[in-house]
């Protein structure tokens, strides 16, 4: 990873912390001694930090360079590789963390490399900076609405570079991981007026609605397309 990539990963992590309310530009300015305008320019890609500045920000946020490394590198995509591994993460990490920190990895999921290489992306501009593939555990309560496609304690493999409502294959509904308020849920998705609809496979469960906030698009609530479900047998 080069110096520019480190800057971008740090910028995304700081923005994530600001969006979640655990950090502000003014607080970071007090912690580092930088002017707020200087930090704002960095966060909005108008300037870079020096190596010394990078160290000051990392120290202020109790981070190390290891926290900027992608958790799923190496990916197993080396020439001739048959398998790749994907980090299994919490629902909160899948929804909110563009870069998966090593400390956020619960375990690793080995999958056929061809499955990931063949996956077509359809990402909004800002989502292209996110690490693409993550996997999540699906507890029994969340799986029931998608039974029998998703069974209790399944693992769902997500492509976070597919946050479009366009069908991946004509005539076949996409299964999505969606951010519904503060929770991640699996289901089919539709958009109507200012609401995103989560529809279950199991018709015994209701359709759920969530409002699109001002300045957001439906794609902002799509965590990713489910490209594989590993159910326990």
Among 1-15, 24-38, 64-78, the least confident range? 64-78
Identical fold, 3-68 and 83-230: no
Bigger pLDDT: 204 or 72? Answer: 204
Domain formed by 3-68, architecture: Orthogonal Bundle (1.10)
pLDDT of residue 187 exceeding 90:
yes
pLDDT of residue 132 exceeding 80:
yes
How much is the pLDDT for 69? 62
Q: Where exactly are the structural domains of the chain?
A: 3-68, 83-230
- CATH 2.10.109.10 at 83-230, yes or no: yes
| Distant-in-sequence, close-in-space partners of 42: CB < 8 Å, separation ≥ 6 | 7, 11, 48, 49
Secondary structure string (H, E, C) spanning the chain: CCHHHHHHHHHHHHHHHHHCCCCCHHHHHHHHCCCHHHHHHHHCCCCCCCHHHHHHHHHHCCCCHHHHCCCCCCCCCCCCCCEEEEEECCHHHHHHCCCCCHHHCCEEEEEEHHHHHHCCCECCCHHHHCCCEEEEEECHHHHHHHCCCCCCCEEEEEECCECCCCCCECCECCCEEEEECCEEEEEEEEEECCEEEEECCCCCCCCEEEECCCCCCHHHHEEEEEEEEECCC
- Binning pLDDT at 50, 70 and 90, where does residue 208 land? very high
pTM of the entire predicted model:
0.68
Mean pLDDT of the chain: 86
pLDDT of residue 73 exceeding 60:
no
């Amino acid at each position: 990873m080069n110096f520019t990539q480190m800057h971008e990963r740090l910028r995304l992590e700081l923005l994530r912390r600001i969006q979640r309310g655990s950090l502000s530009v003014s607080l970071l300015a007090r912690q580092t001694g930088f002017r707020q305008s200087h930090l704002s320019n960095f966060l909005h890609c108008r300037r870079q930090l020096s190596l010394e500045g990078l160290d000051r920000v990392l120290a202020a946020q109790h981070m190390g360079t290891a926290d900027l490394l992608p958790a799923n590198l190496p990916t197993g995509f080396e020439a001739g590789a048959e398998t790749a591994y994907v980090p299994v993460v919490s629902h909160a990490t899948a929804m909110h963390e563009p870069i998966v920190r090593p400390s956020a990895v619960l375990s690793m999921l080995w999958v056929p490399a061809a499955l990931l290489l063949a996956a077509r992306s359809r990402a909004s501009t800002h989502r292209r900076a996110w690490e693409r593939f993550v996997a999540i555990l699906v507890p029994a309560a969340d799986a029931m609405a998608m039974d029998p496609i998703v069974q209790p304690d399944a693992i769902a493999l997500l492509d976070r570079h597919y946050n479009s409502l366009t069908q991946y294959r004509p005539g076949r509904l996409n299964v999505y991981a969606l951010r519904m308020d503060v929770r991640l849920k699996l289901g089919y998705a539709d958009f109507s007026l200012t609401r995103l609809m989560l529809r279950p496979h199991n018709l015994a469960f209701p359709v759920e609605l969530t409002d699109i906030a001002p300045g957001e698009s439906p794609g902002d609530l799509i965590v990713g397309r489910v490209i594989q479900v590993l159910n326990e047998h």
